[in-house]
Chains A and B, each alone.
Chain A
Amino acid sequence: MTETINLSGGQRRLTIDSDKESAVSLNVECAAGSDSELVIELIGRQPLDIRLQGRLEADSRLVMLSINHCKGPLILKERHVLLSHAQANFAYAQFSDADLTIGNDYVLAEAGARLQATSASLTASRKQLNFSCEHQAGQTEAHIDNYGVVLAHGHCEMIVKNTIAKGCHKAQTHQASRILTYDKTAYGRILPILYIDDDDVQASHAASLGQPDENQLYYMESRGLSHQQALSLITIGYLMPVTQAIADHDVNEMLRQEIETKVYQQCSI
């Protein structure tokens, strides 16, 4: 299936069912000066391969929330190009039990382009997240934030690469990747990469990988919450930022319940 989605404002919802389509190619075009939201929900039991090309014209704004409910493995590859003063906020909620490979590239092609990309993963399977952001112009800004909770036998790898080309003065690029492991059999790996070829820029990276804070758990349990309840609340708090991309109560509540259910079902430390 190949589809072009032209966005000129308002909210669009798209559901992709892997039982009906195994390979999907999407072109998302945001008109100049438009302000749009796009919610993509992925469902189905079969393997799914998605290629998404996005183009944000000058002064456009796009919020895109991708929610993965697929029961089969998913490969998601996106490439977005942001033109002058375009603003993009991409959020990826990955709570599927199946394997996942993400390979996303963002290109800040013209001055004033701004990117926020956030992912939240709760996994007992294998999740491989690769994000790459390339600043091709000055006065551009990018923030890539990844949060992962890895349950028993889960595997989560985050590789984030930010590149600022020579001559991109006043560019800002920042990345933060965090993984909580909830079991001895859980595996996490973070690889932060910054390629900076200009002096007049701001760049930072942060990475943390470890178990939930013993003192936080103690504090919550000292008020009567069971270990599971405390862990559940901490996990929800940890992963919920991804839902804040879109101010939609129903979507937020659905994601919250999904996190809660999965934590109760699966975590065991």
Chain B
Amino acid sequence: MPTLEIKDLHVSVEGKEILKGVDLTVRPHEIHALMGPNGNGKSTLLMTVMGHPRYKVTKGQITWDGHDVLAMGVDQRARAGLFLGMQYPMEIPGVTNSDFMKAAVNARRDQPIPLFSFIRQLDGALHDLEMKSDMAHRFLNEGFSGGEKKRNEIVQMKLLKPSLAMLDEIDSGLDVDALKIVADNIMKEFGDHEMSMVVVSHYERFYDLIRPTHAHVMVDGRLIEHGGYELVSRIDHEGYEWLLKKHGIQLSGPAPTARVSLSTCAANPQVHKND
């Protein structure tokens, strides 16, 4: 099974450096939690691995199974087994969920999937995520609620069976029951198929359901702290302040509260390193 290796990754968006030297290795069967205040580079890291054209890699490398990811197009990365469940899935009017997913499945096959086989798989995935079957015929994410969009990302993940799933705040917009359904399906895929994961979330209750093997905290475009599940728990209870003090980092925006909260997540603070 392949390993994702990120070395000294620097990424800029419209001339502004967002990632300032990220090193991360994700081995088979590992689940990595990626935490940190909003606006500090977590989504940028995932979008860059998946090849968003707006994110320019200025230094460093990313390899997947030894292959240079940065030399691959977005679609090649997907076909190589990378998957990004997006924080804000795009709405695409006029393109049905079903047509889109069939095209995505067929992109990985030499011969097109037989129609009935595809319908069976899609219906099964929709059923597992407790979504209405008419979702297949609706336009891709158009008019979906926030929760439906997130479930739909996992439906796609189930059909595409990636080797590395990157899930960017896939739990946001989900109620308690939906959170459990989504987490159960993620873990079923993780158990049924050889897969590794990088998961961005702000909430221990989600991490508690997927039990990460590794945890990292990103501040100001760098991974400043690494650990196991105990790091997730401590941040949930104590917030980021102790970490900022430990690493001599001062946030110029509103200071994070002792516990992680939505207001903290939305603060989008600017960061300055103490001299």
Contact = CB atoms under 8 A, between A and B. Distances in A.
Interface residues of A, number: 24
Interface in A208-242: 213-216, 218-227, 229-230, 233-234, 236-241
B73 interface: yes
A222 B94 contact: no
A216 B139 CA distance: 13
Interface stretch (B99-107, B172-180, B225-233, B238-246): B99-107
A264 to B, nearest CB: 13
B84 interface: yes
Given A223-B100, A223-B160, A237 B139 contact: yes
B141 to A, nearest CB: 9
Contacts of B95: 233-234, 236-237
Contacts of B130: none
B100 A220 contact: yes
Interface string B69-102: 0000111011100011010011011110001110
A226 B54 contact: no
B211 interface: no
Contact of B90 (A215, A224, A225, A233): A215
Given A214-B53, A237-B139, A225 B75 contact: yes
Interface string A237-255: 1111100000000000000
Contacts of B103: 225, 229, 233
A214 B90 CA distance: 11
Contact of A218 (B53, B93, B99): B53
A214 to B, nearest CB: 7
Interface string B150-173: 000000100010000000000000
A233 B75 contact: no
> Contact residue range for chain B?
20 to 34
Contacts of B50: 222
Candidate in A220, A223, A225, A237 with the most chain B CB atoms within 10 angstroms? A223
A214 B74 CA distance: 12
B193 interface: no
Contact of A216 (B52, B92, B107): B92
A224 B75 contact: yes
A231 to B, nearest CB: 11
21 contacts: A214-B54, A218-B74, A218-B90, A219-B90, A221-B73, A221-B75, A222-B50, A222-B78, A223-B100, A223-B101, A223-B104, A224-B78, A224-B79, A224-B108, A224-B160, A225-B75, A229-B103, A229-B107, A230-B75, A240-B94, A241-B94
Interface of B: 50-54, 73-75, 77-79, 83-84, 86, 89-90, 92-95, 99-101, 103-104, 107-108, 139, 156, 160
Interface of A: 213-216, 218-227, 229-230, 233-234, 236-241
